[in-house]
Structure formats: structure tokens, C-alpha cells
Amino acid sequence: MLDDMNPRFAVFLFVSMALISNAAEKELPGDIMLADYFRAETEKLADACLADIRTLEDWEARKPIYREQLFDMLGLNPIPVKSDLKATVTGKIEREDFTVEKLHFQSMPGLYVTANLYLPKNVSSPAPTILYLSGHAKVFTNGVSLGNKTAYQHHGIWFARHGYACLIVDTLQLGEIEGIHHGTHNKGMWWWNSRGYTSAGVEAWNNIRALDYLETRPEVDKTRIGATGRSGGGAYSWVITALDDRIKVAAPVAGITDLENYVVDDAVEGHCDCMFHVNSYRWDYPLLAALAAPRPLLLCNSDKDRIFPLEGIIRTHAKVREIYRLHNAATNLGLLITEGPHQDTQDLQVPAFRWFNRFLKNEDPKISMAAEKLFEPMELKVFDTLPGDSINASIQDTFVPTAQLSLSVNENQLVPTRDTLIRSLREKVFAGWPQDESPSVARKVFDVSSEGLQFSAYDFETQPHVTLRLYVMRPDRREPKAVHLEILDEAAWKEWLTGAASGFPNELKAETGLLKIQSDPAAFAKLRTEVLNNKSAYVFLAPRGIGLTTWDPAEKKQTHIRRRFMLLGQTLDAMRVWDIRKAMNLVPALELSRGEMSVNARQSMAVNVLYAALFEENAHGLVLHDLPQSHRTGPDYLNVLRVTDIPQVLNVVKSKTGVKLNDQAGH
């Protein structure tokens, strides 16, 4: 059904044209659309965060569900088997008032965690204990990593000198045995999303096993364990406190903010993957912090911290405070804001030390001794020779189990298989899709005829703040015998535009100006011949981020745009599947032909079409070129490899829809 253009679409077109006229100096139209979209989606999740918790009973009912969700979003569902830690002390340093043990354990076979255990002397009973989690500190000598634990030794020294046991653990990356934190940040490992893997999950598991190790030590009072750390270590402190009630007191330092800071204010660009769970359940971060309640929790931050901005800390504290109030435990929640940048300052250290004294030792003496480093980093190194059986560098390949998949489908089970698959995908993979599945409304932009072709364009919203355009080419004054919906990736869009702009330069002036491309008469002749010879209507769609909605093409910017989608419980390609679904649903309403509709795409966009066809059954044929064989190399959707993979979806779609594969992969 068609309608006159409303003011929103008029503004969209006006803004697009105005920006295109001077794209080199101003934002691209897609940048504006994307900023509005991210702001709206972030606001939606922020408003929903803890909004349904009105009583303590509400919280107690939801808390175990939230904790289970967090385990799942860290890739810890099912929880790994707790294998033998094989804990080994490799050396010991004696000081007058404390000792340091250099040790390692295996959180799972071959996954090594190196650590230093600081123990007080002259303590007659098990001591209160701190699990100190290291932030990102690069400590190397002659190209050899000594572990970031060595950079935080002054914290362990202070705690040991004041009667605490303190275990400082290395992280996966920057530890003595180096793994990877930066899969999507700068290594292009987008399959981490599809696997449901985040390096935050490994850090969480290593810290759970660190608690298991501490419980084996007679020097440790198992009823008085606290957690702290700064920056990345602050983030891990949040997570281990949320997951494990063995943490009785926590003081994370500069390790969390909210989605508004991460997504809208660009803070995501300063963080690697270890800071984030795979946000399948679409949380905002106050929910993570609230899982500490009612245990004592001190939020520590600086007012000029650029990667954990002050405003997000304030908003987080305000929401978490409501949960503590429900517990009548408001005095167990503290907020510390100091002056300064993102640094490990005394202004942050001293209040954290007091917090643990207050809640783990029931005392609050004057802090007269500063935290200071006493050792050369090499003195704290655990290994002389690294073990040959380590899987630290490859843990991302195995940490999260994939679905047990088969290509065989019983003919009598086709419908339940499809229904079950759709249900699982909607819950685990495409939870970020809008709940509103009502049809979109097309609004005609232009309709002209030239050289025997009728050329039309329609704008439509796939969801609020996402406006796309359909282009239609068909024989003039003849009803097409069929409809071919062409889904364009970036290369296909440019290829189509060079031809179409030659035949319709005025109608496509905005598009060619956006890309600064020249039209190609030969390409138009080929396009025109195909339309006329096939006597069909061809509908062209460039999903979000392509075509008129293209955004900043810089590689770094593209990377962090994709990461923002993940923080919202989506991926860019998953939302393109939604765009394609809406287009597949809309095209029949244009009444272009009484014939059948086929859908054509290539490479990653072909996968997006395949999944759209799983949900929408009005396509009578798919033509898929160079279809990737797995999400390991294809488009990323959150957790999809925990549910299915491309060959299995292809098999199910084939049972209902004709599929033609045209590629080099030998499917």
C-alpha cells in the first residue's frame, strides 16, 4: 500500500541531499541515521534496566535468572568442568613482614594462570584475603612478558603488610603466557560474536578457579574474601562479584560505565573485548553491578577518566542504589570520585584499603603506609621456561562449545525442525530485532520512464531511525511476469549504481554524488537488456550502512560501529537480515506483478538472505552466489554457532523454498 511522503521522510531526503553536496566536510547521511539509531536503542535498554524491580521479592525472583544469563553471555553455559588445578609454586621471596609465592595453576587443562600470592607473616589464624585483578599493563624485558601482575605488586605488598593474604593474577593477554583479548577490537575476528566468545569469559573463569585455589590455602579465611582491581581489573572485579558469592566485599576501580558512555559517547573505542560480555540478553551495565547487592560494594572512579566517563558512573550508582535500598543495605554501597585521569593514584587506593578494613576486618585505622613497589618485575616471574602444553593462545577456538550439528533432516520432522530453529534463533541470536513485526509502509519518492524502462523508488522504515530505499526497474507499460529482489552488498551497490545512473542521472544524482562515481553507459545497456528480456520487475535493496545510508568508511570507525551493535545485543549483519525480511514482506504490497518473487544475493549478503528466508516464506526461489560455508568465515550473528551453522539453515530452507547455489565452493 502506497502513501504520500510524510514530513519525516521529507526531512530524511532533504538532509541526505544537503550532506551529499559537501560530503567531504560534513557527516554522511548514514552517520546521522546511525547516531540517532544508537541513541534510541541505548535509551531503550537503559530505561528497561532494572525497571521491573519494585520490591525485594522481585529482585530475589530475578537474581538467579540474571546470574544464569551472565554465565551464558560469558560463554560459561554449560559451566566448564572444574578439573584438577595442578597448582604449583615455583619460587618464594622472603621479606621481613611478608612473603611472596610465585605460582601457577590450570583453570582447565592447558589454560595456565600465573600469579603471585602475598602472605603476611606473624599471623596466627587464617587471614582476610584479596583477589586482586590486574589491569592492562605491558611489562616486558628483552621481548619476554613478565606478566601484568608485576605492575600491580604494590597493592599485594600493602595488603600483606596489613594482615591480608592477596593473590594477584595475570590476565590472558599481558600475562606470562600470552593469549588474545582484542579479537574484534583490532584483529577482525568477528567469528568471536558468532561463537558467543569473549575474552571476558576466560577472565571470569580464571578468577572463579583462583577462588577455588584460595580455598585450598590454610592461610586464607574463606569467609572473608574481597575482590578489587583497576581498569580491566576493575571490570573483572565487577564480573567475579556478580558471579560468585564467595566474594564478600568488592571495590572495583575504574572498570565500568554504562551503555550510554560506551555506545553513544564512543567510550567503546578505548576498550578491548575483555571488558564486555556478549550482550545476548540486552543488559545495561547497572544490572551487572546490582548483582553484588547486598554485599559491600565501593564504586571508585576519577572525574577526568576518558574511558570510564564520570556521567556513566553516576548513572550506574543511582540505579544500583535502588537495589541496595530494597535490601535496607544502603550503607553497604559507596561511591568514590577523585580528581584526576585514568591512573592508579593514592587518592583511589587509600579509600579502597579503608573499605576492606571496614568490611573484612571490622576496623578503620588511619592509613599511614603508602602502597609502594619493592621488586624488580623479573623477581616476580613464575616460569623460567613456558610450558609446551599451553592452550592460552588458542583458547578462543575451544572455550565456548558449538552446537552438535547434522545435515540429515527427517522428512517427517521438517516443520518442527524449522519451528524449533526459528524459536532458538529468535531467543539466542536475533534477540536484538524489534518486537514489532507489523508491515512497513512504502512511500514513493519518484516514478519516471525512459528507454522502455519504468524506474521507481520507495522509502520505508525497517524500524525507527532506519529508513531505506527500494529501487524498482521494470518494462514500461507492461506487467512483469515475475519479481526479482536483488539484495546489494557494497560492491554490488556500486556496480548497480554505475549502470543505473547512466540511464537515470537526475533521479540518482544524490547517490552518485555520495559515492563520487561516474556512470557507465555500457553497464546501463546490460542492465536494461536484462530487465526487458526477462520481462520482469527488478527490485534493488541496499541494507543499512550501504547505499544512501552509508556511513564513515574508515576501517577503524567501521570496526567500532560493529562493536556498538554487539553492545546492544545485535550485530550489523543480524540487523541487515531484519532489513531484508522487511523488504521481502513489503515488495508484494507494491503489486508489481502477479508472478512469483525470487531473491538474489552474494557472499555474506547471501547468508543474510538465507536467514531472512527462514523467517519469511513468501520468496519462491533464492539465488545465492558464493555462499560461505560457515559463520566462521561468513557474517557474524551473536551466538549463532551455539545454535546452528549455514549448511544446516540451508538444508531447512531448501525444504520449503527453491534454492540455487552459484559459487566456487562446491556446495
Compute the average pLDDT of residues 188-207. Answer: 98
For residues 83 and 194, membership in a common domain is answered with yes
For residues 550 and 604, membership in a common domain is answered with yes
Q: Is residue 40 situated within a structural domain?
A: no
For residues 124 and 178, membership in a common domain is answered with yes
For residues 422 and 296, membership in a common domain is answered with no
Predicted local confidence at residue 7, as pLDDT: 37
Q: Is the pLDDT of residue 409 over 60?
A: no
Q: Is residue 542 situated within a structural domain?
A: yes
Q: What are the angstrom distances between the C-alpha of 566 and each of 102, 147, 309, 369?
A: 38, 30, 20, 44
Q: Is residue 556 situated within a structural domain?
A: yes
Q: By the 8 A CB rule, do 76 and 205 touch?
A: yes
For residues 323 and 450, membership in a common domain is answered with no
For residues 460 and 314, membership in a common domain is answered with no
Q: Is residue 6 situated within a structural domain?
A: no
Burial of 335 (0-12, 13-18, 19+ CB in 10 A): middle
Predicted local confidence at residue 131, as pLDDT: 99
For residues 307 and 378, membership in a common domain is answered with yes
For strand 88-94 and strand 2-3, is the pairing parallel, antiparallel, or unpaired? unpaired
Q: Is residue 30 situated within a structural domain?
A: no
For residues 520 and 419, membership in a common domain is answered with yes
Q: Phi/psi of residue 17, each to 5°?
A: -65, -40
Predicted local confidence at residue 413, as pLDDT: 56
Q: Is residue 15 situated within a structural domain?
A: no
Q: What are the angstrom distances between the C-alpha of 79 and each of 69, 70, 73, 340?
A: 12, 12, 12, 40
Q: Is the pLDDT of residue 8 over 60?
A: no
**Per-residue pLDDT band at 405 (split at 50, 70, 90):** confident
Compute the average pLDDT of residues 544-558. Answer: 95
Predicted local confidence at residue 502, as pLDDT: 94
Domain span holding position 423:
412-662
Domain of residue 105, CATH code: 3.40.50.1820
Predicted local confidence at residue 414, as pLDDT: 54
User: Which of residues 387, 422, 445 is at a domain's end?
Assistant: 387
Q: Is residue 60 situated within a structural domain?
A: no
**Number of domains into which the chain is organized:** 2
In DSSP terms, 80 is beta-bridged to none
For residues 383 and 417, membership in a common domain is answered with no
Cβ neighbours of residue 294 under 8 Å, at least 6 residues apart?
A: 324, 327, 329, 332
Predicted local confidence at residue 417, as pLDDT: 84
Q: Is the pLDDT of residue 6 over 60?
A: no
Compute the average pLDDT of residues 266-278. Answer: 96
Beta strands across the sheet bearing 127-133: 88-94, 98-108, 111-120, 165-169, 127-133, 220-230, 249-253, 297-302, 333-338
For residues 145 and 203, membership in a common domain is answered with yes
Spatial distance between the Cα atoms of 62 and 549, rounded to a whole number of angstroms: 40
Q: Which is more confidently placed, 342 or 15? A: 342
Phi-psi region of 451 (alpha: psi -120 to 50; beta: other; left: phi over 0): left
For residues 495 and 528, membership in a common domain is answered with yes
Tens digits of residue pLDDT in 453-501:
999 999 999 999 999 999 999 999 889 999 999 999 999 999 999 999 9
For residues 417 and 372, membership in a common domain is answered with no
Q: Phi/psi of residue 487, each to 5°?
A: -100, 120
Q: Is residue 37 situated within a structural domain?
A: no
